[in-house]
Amino acid sequence: MPELPEVETIRKGLLAKIKGKKIKDVEIKVPKLVNFDIAGFKKNVLNASIVNIRRRAKLVIIDLSNSNSLLIHLKLTGQLICQGEEEKSTRATFYFTDNTNLIFNDVRKFGYFKLIPTAKLEDFFKTQKFGPEPLEKEFTLDKFKEILNKKPKSKIKPFLMDQINIAGIGNIYADELLFEAKILPTRIIKTLKEDEIKNLYKSIKKILNKAIKYKGSSFDAYVDSSGDKGDFAPRVKVYRKTGQKCYRCDGIVKRIVLGGRGTHFCPKCQK
């Protein structure tokens, strides 16, 4: 599933490519993709212009000139590609008045669109109970400590991946930022020392920003808004490195299942 860096990369690409464009037509090939009937969906997007593109957690938010916002969740295999060619997995296509398009591909069909009045977005986000954005200035070290203190008996990796605690972190980056901080994914939060918490906080910022710099990780279906793969996957240190020598020491990367997710770490230098 695309995580914060992938969704942010897509957002930036869409902002540069389709902001200001007017929707001439839209084709929805899978009825369950939208949150009400296709005719009603089309009625509420046709002839609207795109005024902004934002992100919240793992959601792409397209603000329209008619005071509606389109929320897109890519789920496992969703792709948003500008000037893409339709294929077997194409589930929706937006056509603009300048004869360009935006296609939505989704092999697994788990992605969804929600059209919501822009004024009601914050109410919707409250129902989703999203945690703070880890790259926003409001996400301070003190705020991070406050969040950790709410669940002192939790294991740190599942905690980081829970969108109620912090928005946008998934399996890839939880593994990578814990490796960066030299903390075992199984550590109980209340056992973390002050300097470990500081290192973890810095690692969250560092790894997520680095992943955005390299336009995300293309281990599976993820591509950016141009249809290009991200370049962070070759730079990961532990994710999917089971049995390989640790990047940092002479340990061997191990894989366990934690919280239902494959978890990769070095048992020697992560404590």
Provide the annotated active-site residues: 2-3, 58, 261
CA distance 50 to 224: 19
Beta strands 78-82 and 68-73 are: unpaired
Alpha-carbon distance 52 to 65, whole Å? 9
CA proximity to 247, closest of 176, 158, 183: 176
Question: Chain-centre distance of CA 137, in angstroms?
Answer: 19
Question: CA nearest 176: which of 245, 88, 109, 270?
Answer: 270
Amino acid (one-letter) located at 260: G
C-alpha dihedral over 4, 180, 229, 259, to 10 degrees?
A: -60
Are residues 124 and 56 in contact, defined by beta-carbon separation less than 8 angstroms? no
Chain-centre distance for alpha carbon 28: 23
Contacts of 115-120 spanning 24+ positions with Cβ under 8 A: 115/34, 115/35, 115/36, 115/41, 115/44, 115/45, 115/68, 115/69, 115/70, 115/71, 116/68, 116/69, 116/71, 117/67, 117/68, 117/69, 118/63, 118/64, 118/67, 118/68, 118/69, 119/67
